[in-house]
């Protein structure tokens, strides 16, 4: 299978270059848009960063349509939540996004609400990618999600989708927790057995300033703070587990991905081990390559607030267009400061960062 992740990263970095090199921090329209359709969810995961402002008035169907109309046809859209499928108008928004972007749409879901109607919409729209979060295998997943029986329900839903589709591709997303290390090879084998294209493994974030539903009105001191990398799991155990996955990977088409992007390093396991052994005094820009993410990506919350990645409000799409907000003075200033700093302290553990190697 082609390495779609590397191809997309290359395209995104190339697209970001003119904006990154802009003297005044101005930028082209974003290439990728993260539309947070709702903060409502049918689960209450203890490690989820979403949920502090679930009762804010959400954008209507028509308002989302107007936002999508502003997006260039070559863009990529990610529909996320909360749980995006909880919205009654989800299919309408999906159809609109796919029509505008020639189906370059990724839906991120916990998989519980995927039914026949949703599956038909996935197939009809030819959406690109479905990302489903599984934070363990079997009962361990249910334990981590505080709800019994949902792993089997999700598997039934994905089997139903799998029996009827060539597209979308499926990406299983999992977070490394203390109690699910032994589940990682099982999840890889599950992806292989079912023909899923990706297994994406993330590590717990160490601060609450990235993609956070509480946005700050201006740049705060904490964004440049020091957030040491926390090793919250047994590394020797992880190394055994990774070697098992590595063995399975040799005869599999499943693409293994990490957040941060350890798979781009010459030796993934060594990179992970070195990363979690990093001294607390090590400057963050000695760990990661300079970040170009806010030069080609943006987020819009359920209430229409627009932000770059760190939880800083840049404007609201009910008051201004995406193009106007993306080049407002304080958005440009944010990008200029990031370019000068290379990586902000609060970016530690960000899933979009490349490590130096």
Residue 99: which domain range? 4-347
- Looking at residue 236, its pLDDT comes to 97
* 352 domain-assigned: no
* 355 domain-assigned: no
Q: 151-159 contacts: CB < 8 A, separation 24 or more?
A: 153/111, 153/112, 154/110, 154/111, 154/112, 154/114, 157/111, 157/112, 157/114, 157/115, 157/119, 158/111, 158/114, 158/132, 158/194, 158/196, 159/194
- Residue 303: closest CA among 70, 35, 77, 79: 35
* 88 domain-assigned: yes
- Looking at residue 346, its pLDDT comes to 93
pLDDT per 10-residue tile (average), the chain, 357 residues: 83 94 93 96 75 72 99 98 96 99 98 97 97 96 92 97 89 95 98 97 86 82 90 95 97 95 94 94 95 97 95 96 97 95 94 90
DSSP letters, 133-144, are E--SSTHHHHHH
Cα(first)–Cα(last) distance of the chain, in Å?
A: 25
* 135 domain-assigned: yes
- Looking at residue 51, its pLDDT comes to 56
- Looking at residue 49, its pLDDT comes to 64
* 215 domain-assigned: yes
Structural domain total, the chain? 1
* 354 domain-assigned: no
Distance of CA 308 to the CA centre of its chain: 13
Q: Could you tell me which residues come within 8 angstroms of residue 317 by beta carbon, excluding any fewer than 6 positions away?
A: 59, 63, 67, 300, 304, 306, 325
* 356 domain-assigned: no
* 353 domain-assigned: no
CATH number at residue 62: 3.20.20.70
- Looking at residue 347, its pLDDT comes to 94
- Looking at residue 34, its pLDDT comes to 98
- Looking at residue 167, its pLDDT comes to 82
Report helix, strand or coil for 303: coil
């Amino acid at each position: 299978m082609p390495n779609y992740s590397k191809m997309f990263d290359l395209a995104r970095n190339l697209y970001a270059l003119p904006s990154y090199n802009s003297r005044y921090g101005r930028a082209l329209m974003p290439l990728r848009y993260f539309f947070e359709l709702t903060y409502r969810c049918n689960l209450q995961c203890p490690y989820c960063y979403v949920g502090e402002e679930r009762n804010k008035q959400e954008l209507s169907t028509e308002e989302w349509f107007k936002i999508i109309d502003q997006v260039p046809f070559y863009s990529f859209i990610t529909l996320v939540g909360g749980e995006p499928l909880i919205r009654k108008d989800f299919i309408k928004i999906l159809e609109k996004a796919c029509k505008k972007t020639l189906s370059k749409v990724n839906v991120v879901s916990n998989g519980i609400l995927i039914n026949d109607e949703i599956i038909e919409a996935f197939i009809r729209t030819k959406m690109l990618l479905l990302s489903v979060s599984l934070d363990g295998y079997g009962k361990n997943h249910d334990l981590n999600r505080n709800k019994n029986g949902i792993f089997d329900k999700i598997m039934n839903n994905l089997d139903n989708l799998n029996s009827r589709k060539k597209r979308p591709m499926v990406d299983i997303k999992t977070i490394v927790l203390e109690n699910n290390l032994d589940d990682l090879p099982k999840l890889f084998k599950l992806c292989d057995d079912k023909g899923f294209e990706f297994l994406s493994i993330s590590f717990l974030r160490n601060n609450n300033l990235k993609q956070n539903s509480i946005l700050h009105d201006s740049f705060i001191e904490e964004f440049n703070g020091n957030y040491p990398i926390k090793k919250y799991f047994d590394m020797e155990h992880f190394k055994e587990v990774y070697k098992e996955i590595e063995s399975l990977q040799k005869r599999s088409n499943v693409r293994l991905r990490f957040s941060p992007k350890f798979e781009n390093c010459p030796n993934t396991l060594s990179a992970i081990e070195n990363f979690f052994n990093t001294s607390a005094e090590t400057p963050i820009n000695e760990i990661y390559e300079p970040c170009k993410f806010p030069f080609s990506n943006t987020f819009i919350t359920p209430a229409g607030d627009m932000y770059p990645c760190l939880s800083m409000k840049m404007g609201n799409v009910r008051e201004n267009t995406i193009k106007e907000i993306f080049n407002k003075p304080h958005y440009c200033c944010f990008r200029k400061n990031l370019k000068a700093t290379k990586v902000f302290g609060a970016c530690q553990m960000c899933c979009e960062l490349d490590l130096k190697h």
